[in-house]
Amino acid sequence: MDSKLLEEIGLTKGEAQVYLALLKIGSTKVGPLVAEAKISSSKIYEILDKLEQKGLAGHIFVGKTKHYSAMKPTRIIEYIEKQKEKLEKVELLAEQALPELEKMHVRGKKTHATLFEGFRAVTNAIKSIVDELNPGDSYCIIGANYGEDIALKMRRFFYKHNERRANKKIKLYMLANYSVRGTMEKTTFKKAEVKYLPQYLMNNNMEIFVYGKKALIGLWATEPIAILVDNEELSKSFQVYFDALWGVAKG
């Protein structure tokens, strides 16, 4: 089977190759899988982790050794349905933001919006938050998470980012999903207050940063994207939304 079909539904080339190899050889250790999938041994564990997050692979221990296997191909349909649900949530958030955006348009106030595409561009946009704020300033986050498809890379980034933020004495107020409680990088809690909200109020792949007169809206997909909106009214609207959720969230 051509791996391009799996790539079309959202898998990376490496994920598609490893999944097809698992289907072909069945339960296996990493060594034979690397050879069959023609994937670098340095990347195989990250790919397997992503496939497990997507519900397309699993593992068991035979003695002290992990053996991996593919989940039933019907799981692919479940994965597609899950992706559709995420897009519907994004669409709902966009619809909720439209009335306020329309008001700003009618009032004729200038709004600057910048689109960032790709991991490096998006993380550079997040780094700029610390660059722009002064010691003693603060910012807030709605929906703190690491995404699913790029969780390992986001964890490494946020570990260093929050270390840098805390060293500059910038306070963070964070609303996170219950699903990440107890699993967040330890630097997150430096000079920060964190509360949690249930799954239905949070989007696993979306995160909103509110600081100064700006709001950065990020979507942690396989190729992350973010939109930076420089508009005081929109920033205040998100802050009101944050304050309302903060009041019902749990520490």
How far apart CA 204 and CA 148 sit, in angstroms, is 8
Residue 227 has pLDDT above 70, yes or no: yes
Helix (H) or strand (E) holding 153: helix 151-167
pTM: 0.57
- Looking at residue 1, its pLDDT comes to 63
Q: What domain range includes position 149?
A: 83-248
Please check whether residues 144 and 242 belong to one and the same domain: yes
- Checking if the pLDDT of 168 tops 90, the result is yes
pLDDT the model gives residue 22: 92
pLDDT the model gives residue 203: 60
pLDDT band at 31 (very low <50, low <70, confident <90, very high): very high
Q: Are residues 36 and 87 in the same domain?
A: no
- Number of domains observed in the structure of the chain: 2
Rounded distance, CA 160 to CA 234, Å?
29
Are residues 59 and 122 both part of a single domain?
no
pLDDT category of residue 250 using cuts at 50, 70 and 90: confident
| Claim to verify: residue 24 and residue 69 sit in the same structural domain | yes
| pLDDT band at residue 200 under the 50/70/90 scheme | low
Regarding whether 140 and 31 lie in a shared domain, the answer is no
The C-alpha atoms of residue 46 and residue 41 are separated, in whole angstroms, by 10
Q: Name the packing angle between helices 13-25 and 30-37 (round to 10°).
A: 120
* pLDDT value, residue 82: 77
Among 51, 73, 95, the domain boundary falls at 73
Whichever domain contains 67, its CATH number is: 1.10.10.10
Residue 166 lies in a domain: yes
Q: What is the CATH number of the domain that holds 166?
A: 3.30.870.10
Per-residue model confidence (pLDDT) at position 161: 95
**pLDDT score recorded for residue 159:** 94
Task: Please check whether residues 69 and 87 belong to one and the same domain.
Answer: no
Together in a domain, 62 and 159: no
Q: What is the pLDDT of residue 9?
A: 76
Does residue 78 sit within a domain?
Answer: no
Percent of the chain with pLDDT over 70: 92
Is the Cβ–Cβ distance between 216 and 231 less than 8 Å? Answer: no
Average pLDDT in the 15-38 region? 92
If one compares 43 and 94, the residue with the highest pLDDT of the two is: 43
Average pLDDT over residues 65-86: 83
**Among 21, 46, 73, where does a domain finish?**
73
Better-predicted residue by pLDDT, 125 or 54: 125
